[in-house]
Structure 1
Amino acid sequence: MNAERPPSTTLVQNAESRHWWKRWWRRLPPARQDRFATLAPLLAVLLFLLAIAVAITYLRLEELDREQEAVTRDVEYAQQRLRLRLLERQEQLMRVAREISDRAIEASEFEFQADALVSQFPELQAISWIDARRNVIAVHASPSAPARMQRLPGSTLTVSETDGSFELARDLSQPVYSRPLAEDGAIPSLIVQVPLTAQGRFAGTVMGEYSIDGLLRFGIPPEVMARYAVALMDDRDRVLAGSLQSPNSVLRLLPWSDQPLEHAVPVSPVGNGLILKAQGYRTSKDIVGTGFFWVVGALSALTVWMLLGTWRHTRRRVQAQQALVAETNFRRAMENSMLTGMRALDMQGRITYVNPAFCSMTGWTEAELVGRTAPFPYWPDEDQELLTARLEDELNGRSTPGGFEVRVKRRDGSIFDARMYVSPLVDPNGQQTGWMTSMTDITEPKRIREELSASYERFTTVLESLDSAVSVAPLGSDEMLFANKMYRLWFGTRGQGHRELVELAGNQPGPAADDGDAVDAFAGMPTDSLTDAGSENAEVFVPELGRWLEVRTRYLTWVDGRLAQMVIASDITVRRNAEEQAARQTERAQTASRLITMGEMASSVAHELNQPLTAISNYCNGMISRVQESRISQEDLLMALDKTARQAQRAGQIIQRIKAFVKRSEPNPSLSDVAVMVSNAIELADIELRRQQVRLTPYVAARLPPLMVDPILIEQVLINLLKNAGEAIIQAGRPTGYRTVELRVAPAREEEQDVVLFSVRDSGKGVPPEMIERIYEAFYSTKSEGMGIGLKLCRSIVESHHGRIRVENLYNGDEVVGCCFSFWIPVNSRLRPEAGETAPEPARPSDTERAR
């Protein structure tokens, strides 16, 4: 016997059983809860639609069953009416037969009674008195009877005319009906044979002939004829009278079944030879029921569609919310981690937002700044009026696109320089709601820029202040490799002045007898002994200038390996005049001349200092534009700042490089990767090209050998050529789609040696033919604002690496469509790395891909 459970335990179990589904529901994730919450109404609607369909189908089947019962009942009723009518006519014919058998009437009386019956009952077409030998004794036929029924007394019936019914009536001694007679083209008829007896013997028959069509018209009740398609058929399903519907018009029990709504019964007493069949007419459909079904179905389908649409909209909304949350978190993280200060003002000049970087720069918290109006706490006291005027310009939309520099005061009272950029703050509806200001601390970049500018000015001043003409030219050639300002002032840019000074000084050697090098006429000469020899001085008088010059010559190996001669000409006219005036003082005076070697550095200083400054400016402009457009990540910003710092460091290193260059006059070669050099050059040059809307297409061949070069100098050459290409395209006024620069780096074969060929192709207007010879001259430029030192420096760098540089115009027929600057560096260089230099590691795939 089981112990009775305590009431408390039962209540606890019931509570747990009632709430288990709540715990299950709460454990489901929100996405699945939304799915179940949407599927439940959808399932309910589908079940409702199924219930409506089942109910309507059930009611329709019930209605069809009732219609089938009505058809059966009406056909049975019509068969009974037709049977009674035949039995009545049979009784009347049997009465006539009894009178004939009793010899109560004669032939004339028979015809009279037959006429009365035919006239009274239209379906009865003819009545005949037949003796036992098939002879017609008397006959009466309806005027409308067919010709075969219009018999004459005395004629004899054939067996085919009675269809065996005469013999059957004789044998059975009772009324017999024949099979329906339906000859081709004849009106179907039915014969009834009523036997005659005389003293117990067969004496013939009274034959009545019915029109089957008349039986249908007068024997079937009119209400049945009006309700159904009624027909009399034989046992071979031939329609004898009436008509049946076509299969497409028959009312079927079910729309998808082939069974029609009909009923057929044999007509008694004829038997199975005559069948009464009725079919239900195709009446109009149940518009109300069917319409209700389709309305309910359409509403249910609409509800299902709306539920599915709501489900899909809910899922999209959840996804959008998740994406919005992720985007908001990402933007908040990006704003919190960026180094640029952001400040938002409303249209009245009230601070509405500051990011952590802005608070970190100024030292004030967000709560202390938001809601403040001018004057702001980070404004220096002495700049209040200036900053107030700038704020008015900012609120009125008169701020400069390039930004402006301001001084900002920190909370501790210290001052730092900053650059601020202002842009409209527009809401999603396109309405301006305020102004967004970005602030960057430029104290350190400004200091570096000022130092670089001062250093550049010092070196420029030194070079421009030289009072001696310095020139370098290959032996026996008019080509000028270098000329300073004083030389250009005295002799112009050609090499005739250099050659004249050499000839006047008498230090011009003769060329070798066998000119084996088309580039250098003095190839094969003992350059080592010449360059190791000391310099030679000579005082000459130049009639064109009317001056006495002290000419100092020295042989040297040029940066491209060729033998060259340097001439330093100092104006000693005053001294010579003084010597002529005071001979004694002339003997005791010592020739005061200076060996100036910094002339060669003029173009290098100007260009190398300009490169890092340009790179710093481009990086800053790029960061500013991307910050303004809010499409720069922290990693990209840090990368750009790091590169800016490295360019500043590079500018500082230039000074050290120049000092070393003065002592050595040679590049600092190292085994360098070509792809890395190209990648570094593209990173600097592409900034300016993108600003000019010029498309750069680089191609770097795979597996290039490392080169023994100074990588910074080679990068400088590439950057200068790429920038010149972009400026040439802009000067040509090419449409944006035709602004293309192609950089190709590939191995080649030049002057019987393996080299790496660098070529830069642009789509500008090319170089005029008359300027090609002078394009490498110092301080000569095809641009109105050009310094004229870029290509000169490029040539010096390439030749210092024992390479060559050349330029050629690109033609399309007679039209110049571009220009190609190319230079090559030998793979097996005669340069050697400094002590401690080792071959670099191969370039990383990312660097190579970026270079491409």
Structure 2
Amino acid sequence: MNMPANAPAASPSALKKLARRWQQWWRGLTPHRQDRFAALAPLVAVVLFLLAIATSFWYLRAEEIDREREALRRDVEYAQQRVRLRLLERQEQIMRIARDLSNHELQRSDFALRAENLISQYPELQSVTLIDARRNIRLSQAAPTVGSSQLRVAGEVLKSGAAATLFELTRDLGQPVYAQPPVGDDGAPPPLLQLMVPLSANGAFGGVVLAEYSVDSLLRYATPTEVLSRYAVTFVDSSHHVLAGTPLEPGLRERMPWDTWANAYEVAVSPVGNGLVLRAQAYRTSLGLVGNGLFWLVGVLSVMTVWLLVATWRHTRRRMRTQEALIVETNFRRAMENSVLTGMRALDLQGRITYVNAAFCQMTGWSEKELVGQTPPYVYWPESEYENLKAKLTEELSGKSVPGGFQVRVRRRNGSIFDARLYVSPLIDAHGQQTGWMTSMTDITEPNRIREQLSASHERFTIVLESLDASVSVAPLGSEELLFANRLYRQWFGSQTTGHLQMVAQGGVLRASTPRDDNDAALAALSTNRKGGAPSGNAEIYLPELDKWLEVRSRYLNWVDGRLAQMVIATDITQRRLAEEQAARQTERAQSVSRLITMGEMASSVAHELNQPLTAISNYCSGMISRIEKGQIAEDMLLAALHKTAHQAQRAGQIIQRIRAFVKRSEPNRQLARVESMVGEAVELAEIELRRHNVRLTHYVAARLPPVMADSILIEQVLINLMKNGAESIANAQRPPHQRAVELRVVPQQLNGQAGVEFVVQDTGRGLAPEVLAHLFEAFYSTKSEGMGMGLNLCRSIVESHQGRMHVQNLYNADEVVGCRFSFWLPLASPLPTAATSDPPPDPRITA
């Protein structure tokens, strides 16, 4: 193929284009990137040189390893052939003995002699044993070096194990078989290599000749001496347990496989197979890396060169980054000085202005050129303040500046005056010498105006608190210091914290006098709510020294100094308490009136109930009189009649006593009461009214109910009222006799996790209309034309005064109302919480 005539001229042109592009690319880089590439070039060259040296050494080392591995393989295979030939020679001799025994050409006495000659002549052969077809040992000849545990004794039977398995295999195959028993884990010496040759008598199996070899002797006498001198040779079994020889690294097999070793090789010994493996590991004769001094010298020098280049490159980069950071910091500080509203002024030690920022110029109205270089008095000093400002400047230059700054008056260029606060700090150069003073000036005209407004607002707020009709006091937690108290507090308690602590203690809130270390958990909980408002609490207490009832409200707040404080607001509620007590007494009278009304409605039923025992008493008395007059009565019959008369009189008295106890006005008596007793008393009175309306009453009380803290008479009034209302509802509904029933159930029940007892009264009337349910418990609301509307309202008040709940609902069968269900729940007996007062608290029934 012929090249074009202009082909040689194209190469210089292409090189010029490449060089031109290289120059354009290089010039297009920033100086920073050019320095980076210039520093990386020698580093890359050194790294490439080091990689070339390492690659060359690796290649030479790989060649050397391949040669060593090939030589090792040849030597191991040669040693394996030598061992194989030696085993085959012994095998041939054992087979000759077996053949002579099978042909009856060798007597048993001659067998021992020939076996002894073989054992004495060949050290690896340890024993020769004759075993018949029944596994009985007939003859055995062993070398003196065989241990007692490995001897075969004539007359014994071949035991189960590796030898028995080999016996079975030889009998089945009908040819010589080798076997290497596995090595045990008990530290015993390695087992002997076994060879079994079968005996044949007229075509039948006649036993075996067992030859056992010492693997260690086989290694010493069968392996060539030159191989043993160059390698660490060992015999191992199929599980890689060492049978003979000593490896260079005994535990290396468990850490890495043999086929990854560069100086080791192994091969199975035939005719034994994988049961006996010849392994060899070459002794390290090469100097390796230690002898390659030139390589190490070049490597160390290359590493040092790389390290120096990297260090130089990193140092250059650090200097460049520092320079860039300095420029950025300078620009940042200049921008910050120009953007802040604080004026900056620098003075030298003589008081000459050396620097002002843009904010200072904007505040005074003069430019930087007009201000820099001035000496006192400065143009922005008011004429009336010369002496004062000069004295301040003298103190500033002498180092007597106040840490919190000082306030001065400054004149603007247009003649207006504003208030400013100056802060002074020394200027120190790089050598630690003071070169002047830096002054920052802040316009505080607006803050002063706001401070005056705040002062006036605080005064107005104080006037409002002083004129309140409530006592207000603030005290820090963990201290008896009184932070604030208004006029009414000082009028009641004076200027001490005694009244504050007393109200806190009686109100049942966190004590202000408790040390902080005893209430870390409480204070921590309060501090978490500072943004969202601290928790507060209300309580009503009685102070005997003032003879007043006070409503105390407390709140936690952060005082102006950061301390956690407690504010207590106390309002005089004496008049309200008196009104509540009056209302409670009226409610108690209403309860008594309600009971009287209930008994008035039940009067006819009670009269009918009393008529039965009174009629019986009259009949008994008339009968006894007539019989006594006629003399026809015996003493025992007279006593029986008198007993019956007394029983009827007691029954009438109990009915009257029950009615008296129910209707009489008594003081509230809340105590531990048994539920069964209250239900029994209420049922006995209610049954009279229910029988008048022809209504059945069934009741169920759960067994083993715990007692409740209640007034038995009031709870009985609630139950009687509910059962009587149920009977009246059934009568108004005109239900047939089989549907006229009221059921009372009392069972344990939990409400909001609190254990209690639930009372359920269920009737079969027409239920309640939705508009009635909405106003059922309101006072003076009644569905009866003659009703007062106080019964259910009082029932709910009584239940709630016992910390209980009352509920009513209609019962449905599909869309039809088939009855009504009243229920109320009372908690189990527990002491009621009361306010800490000197007078006994009012009854909860009244305040409810």
**TM-score under structure 2 length normalisation:** 0.38
